[in-house]
A and B are shown apart, each in its own frame.
Chain A
Amino acid sequence: MWRYVGRRLVLAIPTLLGASIIVFAMVHLAPGDPIAAVLPVDASKEQVEAVKKAYGFDKPLPVQYLKWLGRVVTGDLGKSIATRRAVILDVRDSLANSLVLAISSSVLAFGAGIALGLLAAFWQGRWLDKLASAVAVVGVSVPHYWAGIILIIIFSVQLNWLPAMGAAADGGIVAYLRHMTLPTIALALIPLGVIARVVRSAALDILAQEFVLALRAKGLGHRRVFTHVVKNSAPQIITVLGLQFGFQLGGSVLVEAVFSWPGTGYLLNLAIFQRDIPVLQGVILVLATFFVLLNLLVDVLQTYIDPRIARH
């Protein structure tokens, strides 16, 4: 088991390094000179050279990459071009808001999705099953940014129940909760559909196995059979939950844009329009690292629950 964990950890390093190369390359993907944003239009040649030197752009690319990586590893993500603040501070502040949203929408989606999937499997072919299938298809097909706008139209514009924009960071806990309700629902739609679908098929697989028949023959009631099914489909379900949580964290850019929720997605959006490449890089690097580590955690958790996996 521990050997397996160690091996997975080692395997995550090249992935992270590769991701860092992609993030580093973004500066050079961007059209125009990366330092043009810092300089006045009428900068002299000497000024241009000086700034280039200050930012290290006069060195060959591999050297620039290694230097950048060295700083990144110590938590120095550079300075924002727009605000001159350290990128790490901006990312840290917004990450808290994004985490809150990712957790709340995951709790909602996991709870509702697992319940719906299990109920659908136990009442296969009945109306509840059909409802679950419909929810699953809608969940994976709906553009969540549009769902967000629809929620705003209904609950903010028409009914005037909930606020449409921002996070009300200093308005107390109730105001904060009210602000996060709509984005939470919008963000929960996709994982709700995916989870309901996966849980249903995982539970059906288990229900079709002989041991379930044996349990029933033994005289166990529905509820006891139910716990056995849940236990046995847990590894598969956990994988999906882990992946979905990662998607929630990285995929909330569009929903955050709709609700002006001050998370990493909103920060990323701002950075793109201010052509603030250091912030863009910082946000993406931090989110990718989170995502890779989360996948690692899921793998380890899965092996813990079902040790047979490590032997493959």
Chain B
Amino acid sequence: MSILALPTGVGVVVGAPLSYWRTVAWRLSRDRATLVAGSLLLLVVLSAVLAPWISPHDPNAGSIRQRLAEVGAPSHVLGTDEQGRDMLSRLLWGGRMTLLAGLTPVLVAFVLGTVLGVSAGYAGGITNTLVMRTMDIFYAFPAVLLAIAISGALGPGLPNTLISLSIVFIPRVVRVAESATVQVKGLEYVAAARASGAGVWQILRHHLLANILGPVLVFASTQVSLSIILAAGLSFLGLGVTPPAAEWGLMLNTLRQSIYVNAVVPALPGLAIFVTSMAFNLVSDGLRDAMEIRA
């Protein structure tokens, strides 16, 4: 199974052969599911980024007289929560927190994991064994358990969530980066580069990183949805962002008690997590297909 494959079977009739990235872009432009999911994702990200300007109310200002208003209530399109705070505003602001808490660990893991994985793969020998066996230890725990265990020991708070989730995702990225590096390292053109006098840094930068960053990035993108579910899950357990901040998992937790009064509003934060995580999954699936990466 090769990680790198040349784009083949593209139905272009006329003109010069397309470059790899143009082929990928062309394929993505024909993939309707990925385009829809991508637009949805853009919408979620934009509304989170623009929350301070577009949210109709102060997300933390409640009103005792307007608790748990139904969806469609006057001046509260998505109703209000158990403290009478506007749900739409809180969902918009909550998206900022959830996306931040979900994306940062994967980004950290992508950078650190690639550095560790490429170093281990390129160095080989005892360094490789040492790094990879250490990573194996983290595979002794299912992801959810590891995240909750570390967060539980560290205590609540956003920084601790970021630390525990980064620890969950680093070993995964290291494994992918290491195996890609070992595969590419054995290819003839690397030997050719070395024979023609290229130094270690040159080989690493131009021949290894250039070829493995794509697959590693795609792998990292497949982890974002899990990271978002876990980040919101930690807040749901009371281990993540602390109240009164708006965060989807935390909102789901505090609204849970109200399902006997209002059945729709408490389900909204979870729906937001679900839609976002599904959009990330569909986009990363489409990206993987378009880039012809088998993983």
Report yes or no: A29 in contact with B153, Cβ–Cβ below 8 A: yes
Residues of A within 8 A of B266 (CB): 149, 153
A253 to B143, CA, bound (A): 11
A15 to B229, CA, bound (A): 27
Report yes or no: A15 in contact with B136, Cβ–Cβ below 8 A: yes
**A14-B133 contact given A143-B270, A153-B259, A288-B140, CB 8 Å threshold:** yes
A103 to B194, CA, bound (A): 54
Q: Residue B29 at the A interface, CB < 8 A?
A: no
Contact of A277 among B142, B153, B269 (CB under 8 A): B153
A257 to B259, CA, bound (A): 16
Task: Considering the complex, give the chain B residue whose CB is closest to the CB of A21.
Answer: B137
Contact of B154 among A30, A143, A157 (CB under 8 A): A30
**A19-B155 contact given A143-B274, A149-B259, A153-B267, CB 8 Å threshold:** no
Q: Residue B263 at the A interface, CB < 8 A?
A: yes
A98 to B251, CA, bound (A): 27
A269 to B253, CA, bound (A): 14
Which A residues, 207 to 256, have Cβ-Cβ distances below 8 Å to chain B? Answer: 246-247, 249-251, 253-254
Residues of A within 8 A of B152 (CB): 268, 271-272, 280
Which B residues, 232 to 263, have Cβ-Cβ distances below 8 Å to chain A? Answer: 232-233, 236-239, 252, 256, 259-260, 263
Task: Considering the complex, give the chain A residue whose CB is closest to the CB of B154.
Answer: A29
Report yes or no: A280 in contact with B153, Cβ–Cβ below 8 A: yes
Residues of B within 8 A of A26 (CB): 149-150, 153
Q: Residue B51 at the A interface, CB < 8 A?
A: no
Task: Considering the complex, give the chain B residue whose CB is closest to the CB of A247.
Answer: B142
Report yes or no: A31 in contact with B278, Cβ–Cβ below 8 A: no
A227 to B206, CA, bound (A): 49
Contact of B273 among A19, A143, A268, A277 (CB under 8 A): A143
Residues of A within 8 A of B140 (CB): 15-16, 18-19, 288, 291-292
A-B contact count (CB 8 A): 135
A142 to B256, CA, bound (A): 17
Number of A interface residues in the complex (CB < 8 A):
48
Could you tell me the distance in whole angstroms from the C-beta of B24 to the nearest C-beta in chain A? Answer: 21
Report yes or no: B145 in contact with A284, Cβ–Cβ below 8 A: yes
Q: Residue A158 at the B interface, CB < 8 A?
A: yes
Residues of B within 8 A of A249 (CB): 142
Report yes or no: B144 in contact with A146, Cβ–Cβ below 8 A: no
Report yes or no: A291 in contact with B141, Cβ–Cβ below 8 A: yes
Q: Residue A128 at the B interface, CB < 8 A?
A: no
Report yes or no: A137 in contact with B239, Cβ–Cβ below 8 A: no
A273 to B139, CA, bound (A): 26
Q: Residue B89 at the A interface, CB < 8 A?
A: no
Q: Is the interface of A mostly helix, strand, loop or mixed?
A: helix
Residues of B within 8 A of A22 (CB): 137-138, 141
A145 to B141, CA, bound (A): 20
Contact of B237 among A140, A150, A257 (CB under 8 A): A257
Residues of A within 8 A of B269 (CB): 146
Q: Residue B161 at the A interface, CB < 8 A?
A: no
Residues of B within 8 A of A31 (CB): 154-155
Q: Residue A138 at the B interface, CB < 8 A?
A: yes
Report yes or no: B137 in contact with A291, Cβ–Cβ below 8 A: no
A137 to B283, CA, bound (A): 11
Q: Residue B220 at the A interface, CB < 8 A?
A: no
Report yes or no: A29 in contact with B150, Cβ–Cβ below 8 A: yes
A251 to B269, CA, bound (A): 21
Task: Considering the complex, give the chain B residue whose CB is closest to the CB of A280.
Answer: B152
Q: Residue A300 at the B interface, CB < 8 A?
A: no
Q: Residue A287 at the B interface, CB < 8 A?
A: yes
Q: Residue B177 at the A interface, CB < 8 A?
A: no
Report yes or no: A149 in contact with B252, Cβ–Cβ below 8 A: yes
A253 to B33, CA, bound (A): 33
Residues of A within 8 A of B137 (CB): 14-15, 18-19, 21-22
**A18-B238 contact given A141-B281, A157-B263, CB 8 Å threshold:** no
Residues of B within 8 A of A149 (CB): 252, 256, 259, 266-267, 270
Report yes or no: A140 in contact with B281, Cβ–Cβ below 8 A: yes
Q: Residue B114 at the A interface, CB < 8 A?
A: no
Q: Residue A199 at the B interface, CB < 8 A?
A: no
Residues of B within 8 A of A192 (CB): none
> C-beta contact mask, A125-164 vs B, less than 8 Å → 1, else 0?
0000000000001101111011001101100011000000
Residues of B within 8 A of A16 (CB): 140
Q: Residue B282 at the A interface, CB < 8 A?
A: yes
Residues of A within 8 A of B277 (CB): 141-143
A159 to B256, CA, bound (A): 18
Residues of A within 8 A of B278 (CB): 137-138, 141-142
Contact of B145 among A137, A150, A258, A287 (CB under 8 A): A287
Residues of B within 8 A of A140 (CB): 225, 281
14 CB-based A-B contacts, threshold 8 Å: A18-B136, A26-B150, A137-B278, A143-B233, A143-B270, A145-B233, A145-B236, A149-B266, A150-B267, A153-B263, A249-B142, A250-B142, A272-B148, A291-B141
The 3 closest A-B pairs by CB, nearest first: A146-B270, A18-B137, A250-B142
Interface residues of B (CB under 8 A from A): 133-134, 136-145, 148-150, 152-155, 225, 229, 232-233, 236-239, 252, 256, 259-260, 263, 266-267, 269-271, 273-274, 277-278, 280-282, 285
User: Given A27-B153, A143-B270, 16 other A-B contacts at CB below 8 A?
Assistant: A30-B153, A137-B285, A141-B274, A143-B232, A146-B270, A149-B252, A149-B259, A149-B267, A150-B270, A247-B144, A251-B144, A280-B152, A280-B153, A287-B142, A288-B140, A288-B141
